[in-house]
Amino acid sequence: MKTGVGIYTALVLCLLMGAVFCQRPRPKKPAKPPKPTKRPYFKPAPQPEEPEPQEPTDFPPPILGPPSMFPDCPRECFCPPSFPNALYCENRNLRTVPVIPSRVHYLYLQNNYISEVTAEPFNNATELRWVNMANNRIKKVDKQTFEKVPGLLFLYMERNQLKEVPNDLPAGLEQLRLSHNQISKIPSGAFGKMEHLSLLDLHHNKVHTHIHASKQAHTHIHTHTNVQPINHTHTHKSANMHACTQKRIQTIIYTHTHTHCVFSLCVLCCV
């Protein structure tokens, strides 16, 4: 009896142990994800201020000239070795007049974007004889500019935006070209000292001033046989073309304006 109970007990224990070993292991519970750590707060660095937008410009960058053997040659210009008295600065997209060397007699500045002519670049340019500033955007010329160049003979400033004749022009001027500007008034005595003036070109302006020879020293106007033909220019009916006794000024051009130009005995009426 006791033997049977022992055997039964042993069998029960074996069954229990087998059940324990035969059971599948339970999966472990997933670990909880760690809590995100708070990042420290960093104040963002200040951004550099953006420059204010500039108005677009239609000026292309200046064009530099070739290397020169002359140390005083402006970098924007051309100083030909074979012609040391000339300074070529035309078609260079310049906005200002460069410093003119003292050796220069002929200055070419046409076809640029110059808007103002100041006196400083001409401080040493006392030998200038010829200046061409045509086809720029010149609106202003400093009063002292041409005081520096008393020997100037030819001044070309056509196709600019001048509203008045430049002041204190050299008395020795022989040719003054101011056509295609916005000149509306010529002050009394503007040309009074120019006894050698042979050509005055003011056509395509807005001049409405009566110019009298007695005030302008233009009794020297030559309206006789050497006057060059000017298209669309008419003479006043009362003009006596043979009455001018002094014949220094050879050509006065006042075409395409509404100007009545009174020159003593010689009268030019402009359409």
Residue-wise pLDDT tens digits, 16-49 = 665 555 555 666 666 677 776 666 665 666 665 6
| Assigned token pair, 95 | 């906005």
Residue 219 has pLDDT above 60, yes or no: no
As a whole-number percent, the residues of the chain with pLDDT over 90 amount to: 46
CA distance 108 to 136: 12
Confidence at residue 167, expressed as pLDDT on a 0 to 100 scale: 86
State the pLDDT at residue 25. 61
Instruction: Read off the pLDDT band of 185 (50, 70, 90).
Output: confident
Q: Give the mean model confidence (pLDDT) for residues 110-124.
A: 96
| Domains of the chain, CATH where assigned | 97-207 (3.80.10.10)
Instruction: Tell me the C-alpha distance between 178 and 135, whole Å.
Output: 11
pLDDT score for 223: 29
Spatial distance between the Cα atoms of 161 and 115, rounded to a whole number of angstroms: 8
CB-CB contact of 252 with 200 (8 Å): yes
- What is the pLDDT, as a whole number, of residue 3? 60
Q: According to the model, what pLDDT value does residue 242 have?
A: 37
> What pLDDT shows up at residue 7?
67
Residue 156 has pLDDT above 50, yes or no: yes
Only one residue has tokens 């046409």, namely 110
3-state secondary structure of 16: helix
